Amino acid sequence: MKTQWITGLAIVLVLSLAAGSVWAGEKECPPPDAEEVWEWVTESDPYQGWGYWPEHDGMYPGQSPHGAYLKLYANSIALKALREGKQMPPGSMIMKANYGKDKETLMALTPMYKVEGYNPEAGNWFWAKYKPDGEVEASGKVEGCIDCHRAQKDNDWIFTSTEPE
Protein backbone atom coordinates (compact mmCIF):
# COMPACT_ATOMS: atom_id res chain seq x y z
CA MET A 1 0.00 0.00 0.00
CA LYS A 2 2.79 2.41 0.93
CA THR A 3 4.61 1.61 -2.35
CA GLN A 4 1.47 2.41 -4.38
CA TRP A 5 1.07 5.72 -2.56
CA ILE A 6 4.72 6.69 -3.23
CA THR A 7 4.41 5.63 -6.88
CA GLY A 8 1.23 7.68 -7.22
CA LEU A 9 2.89 10.70 -5.65
CA ALA A 10 5.89 10.33 -7.98
CA ILE A 11 3.57 10.25 -11.02
CA VAL A 12 1.74 13.37 -9.83
CA LEU A 13 5.05 15.19 -9.34
CA VAL A 14 6.34 14.23 -12.79
CA LEU A 15 3.10 15.30 -14.45
CA SER A 16 3.08 18.56 -12.49
CA LEU A 17 6.63 19.38 -13.56
CA ALA A 18 5.80 18.57 -17.20
CA ALA A 19 2.66 20.71 -17.06
CA GLY A 20 4.61 23.52 -15.41
CA SER A 21 7.06 23.58 -18.31
CA VAL A 22 4.22 23.78 -20.81
CA TRP A 23 2.45 26.46 -18.76
CA ALA A 24 5.65 28.47 -18.56
CA GLY A 25 5.85 28.44 -22.35
CA GLU A 26 9.03 26.39 -22.42
CA LYS A 27 9.44 24.36 -25.58
CA GLU A 28 12.42 22.35 -26.64
CA CYS A 29 14.00 23.96 -29.69
CA PRO A 30 14.71 21.89 -32.80
CA PRO A 31 18.14 20.71 -33.91
CA PRO A 32 19.87 22.65 -36.73
CA ASP A 33 18.11 20.70 -39.46
CA ALA A 34 16.19 22.40 -42.29
CA GLU A 35 13.13 20.13 -42.17
CA GLU A 36 12.85 20.23 -38.38
CA VAL A 37 13.29 24.00 -38.26
CA TRP A 38 10.56 24.36 -40.91
CA GLU A 39 8.20 22.18 -38.89
CA TRP A 40 9.03 24.23 -35.80
CA VAL A 41 8.42 27.66 -37.34
CA THR A 42 5.24 26.62 -39.15
CA GLU A 43 3.62 24.15 -36.73
CA SER A 44 5.20 23.85 -33.26
CA ASP A 45 5.83 27.57 -32.72
CA PRO A 46 4.53 29.41 -35.82
CA TYR A 47 6.52 32.53 -36.59
CA GLN A 48 3.34 34.53 -37.33
CA GLY A 49 2.59 34.32 -33.59
CA TRP A 50 5.97 35.73 -32.61
CA GLY A 51 6.41 39.43 -31.99
CA TYR A 52 7.77 41.86 -34.51
CA TRP A 53 11.33 43.02 -34.08
CA PRO A 54 11.23 46.28 -32.07
CA GLU A 55 10.69 49.33 -34.26
CA HIS A 56 9.78 47.06 -37.20
CA ASP A 57 6.06 46.46 -36.76
CA GLY A 58 4.48 45.21 -39.95
CA MET A 59 5.97 45.54 -43.42
CA TYR A 60 8.90 47.74 -44.37
CA PRO A 61 11.08 48.19 -47.50
CA GLY A 62 13.77 45.56 -47.95
CA GLN A 63 16.80 45.15 -50.13
CA SER A 64 18.70 42.42 -51.91
CA PRO A 65 19.14 39.56 -51.31
CA HIS A 66 15.89 39.66 -49.37
CA GLY A 67 12.55 40.80 -50.75
CA ALA A 68 11.42 44.20 -51.90
CA TYR A 69 9.39 44.29 -48.67
CA LEU A 70 9.96 42.47 -45.40
CA LYS A 71 8.31 41.52 -42.15
CA LEU A 72 10.77 40.81 -39.35
CA TYR A 73 9.70 38.49 -36.55
CA ALA A 74 11.58 37.33 -33.44
CA ASN A 75 10.68 34.47 -31.14
CA SER A 76 10.17 35.01 -27.42
CA ILE A 77 13.77 34.08 -26.57
CA ALA A 78 15.14 36.69 -28.98
CA LEU A 79 12.65 39.35 -27.89
CA LYS A 80 13.54 38.80 -24.24
CA ALA A 81 17.24 39.23 -25.05
CA LEU A 82 16.47 42.44 -26.96
CA ARG A 83 14.43 43.84 -24.06
CA GLU A 84 17.27 43.04 -21.66
CA GLY A 85 19.96 44.43 -23.98
CA LYS A 86 21.73 41.08 -24.18
CA GLN A 87 23.28 39.11 -27.01
CA MET A 88 21.02 36.51 -28.58
CA PRO A 89 21.16 33.28 -26.53
CA PRO A 90 20.81 29.78 -27.95
CA GLY A 91 17.23 29.17 -29.07
CA SER A 92 16.82 32.68 -30.49
CA MET A 93 15.13 32.72 -33.86
CA ILE A 94 14.70 35.63 -36.23
CA MET A 95 12.45 35.22 -39.26
CA LYS A 96 12.37 37.46 -42.29
CA ALA A 97 9.28 37.04 -44.44
CA ASN A 98 10.41 38.27 -47.85
CA TYR A 99 7.70 39.82 -50.06
CA GLY A 100 7.61 40.94 -53.68
CA LYS A 101 7.03 44.45 -54.98
CA ASP A 102 3.25 43.97 -54.77
CA LYS A 103 3.60 43.65 -50.96
CA GLU A 104 1.34 40.57 -51.08
CA THR A 105 3.37 37.79 -52.67
CA LEU A 106 5.46 35.91 -50.14
CA MET A 107 8.68 35.08 -51.96
CA ALA A 108 10.72 33.32 -49.25
CA LEU A 109 11.21 32.81 -45.54
CA THR A 110 14.75 33.30 -44.24
CA PRO A 111 15.35 32.40 -40.59
CA MET A 112 18.46 32.82 -38.47
CA TYR A 113 18.55 30.37 -35.57
CA LYS A 114 21.13 30.51 -32.75
CA VAL A 115 22.32 27.03 -31.79
CA GLU A 116 24.94 26.58 -29.06
CA GLY A 117 28.18 25.18 -30.50
CA TYR A 118 26.75 24.86 -34.02
CA ASN A 119 29.09 27.18 -35.89
CA PRO A 120 31.24 29.35 -33.61
CA GLU A 121 33.02 30.90 -36.62
CA ALA A 122 29.67 32.46 -37.65
CA GLY A 123 28.18 33.35 -34.28
CA ASN A 124 26.57 29.89 -33.87
CA TRP A 125 23.85 30.83 -36.35
CA PHE A 126 22.00 28.28 -38.47
CA TRP A 127 20.78 29.95 -41.67
CA ALA A 128 18.06 28.85 -44.05
CA LYS A 129 16.03 29.97 -47.02
CA TYR A 130 12.68 28.38 -47.75
CA LYS A 131 10.19 28.81 -50.54
CA PRO A 132 6.71 29.66 -49.20
CA ASP A 133 5.72 25.98 -49.46
CA GLY A 134 8.66 24.90 -47.29
CA GLU A 135 10.99 23.72 -50.03
CA VAL A 136 14.54 24.23 -48.79
CA GLU A 137 16.65 26.43 -51.04
CA ALA A 138 19.60 26.69 -48.64
CA SER A 139 20.31 25.70 -45.06
CA GLY A 140 23.01 25.24 -42.47
CA LYS A 141 26.30 27.08 -42.71
CA VAL A 142 25.24 29.01 -45.80
CA GLU A 143 28.29 30.84 -47.17
CA GLY A 144 26.26 33.60 -48.84
CA CYS A 145 24.52 34.44 -45.56
CA ILE A 146 27.72 34.20 -43.55
CA ASP A 147 29.73 36.29 -46.01
CA CYS A 148 27.12 39.06 -45.97
CA HIS A 149 26.39 39.02 -42.23
CA ARG A 150 30.09 38.93 -41.39
CA ALA A 151 29.98 42.73 -41.81
CA GLN A 152 27.87 42.76 -38.61
CA LYS A 153 29.99 40.32 -36.62
CA ASP A 154 30.29 42.85 -33.77
CA ASN A 155 26.48 43.07 -33.63
CA ASP A 156 26.01 39.29 -33.25
CA TRP A 157 25.85 38.96 -37.06
CA ILE A 158 22.57 40.90 -37.11
CA PHE A 159 21.99 43.86 -39.42
CA THR A 160 18.91 45.23 -37.67
CA SER A 161 19.70 47.27 -34.61
CA THR A 162 19.79 45.35 -31.35
CA GLU A 163 20.06 48.55 -29.31
CA PRO A 164 16.89 49.63 -27.49
CA GLU A 165 15.60 52.95 -28.75
Which DSSP helix (H) or strand (E) runs through 62? none
User: Is the pLDDT confidence value at 13 over 70?
Assistant: no
Mean pLDDT, residues 13-23 taken together: 38
136 DSSP β-pair partners: 130
At residue 144 the predicted structure's pLDDT band, cuts being 50, 70 and 90, is very high
Percent of the chain with pLDDT over 70: 81
Query: Using an 8 Å Cβ cutoff, are 90 and 114 in contact?
Result: yes
At residue 36 the predicted structure's pLDDT band, cuts being 50, 70 and 90, is very high
**Pairs from 109-112 (Cβ < 8 Å, separation ≥ 24):** 109/41, 109/47, 110/66, 111/37, 111/41, 111/47, 112/145, 112/157, 112/158
pTM of the model: 0.80
- Count the alpha carbons within 13 Å of 151 in the hemisphere toward its beta carbon: 7
Whole-number pLDDT of residue 107: 97
pLDDT in tens, 41-75: 999 999 999 999 998 999 999 988 898 999 999 99
Q: Among the residues of the chain, which ranges form H helices? A: 2-23, 34-39, 76-84, 143-149
How do beta strands 106-114 and 125-130 pair?
Answer: antiparallel
Which class would CATH give 29-155? alpha beta
At residue 163 the predicted structure's pLDDT band, cuts being 50, 70 and 90, is low
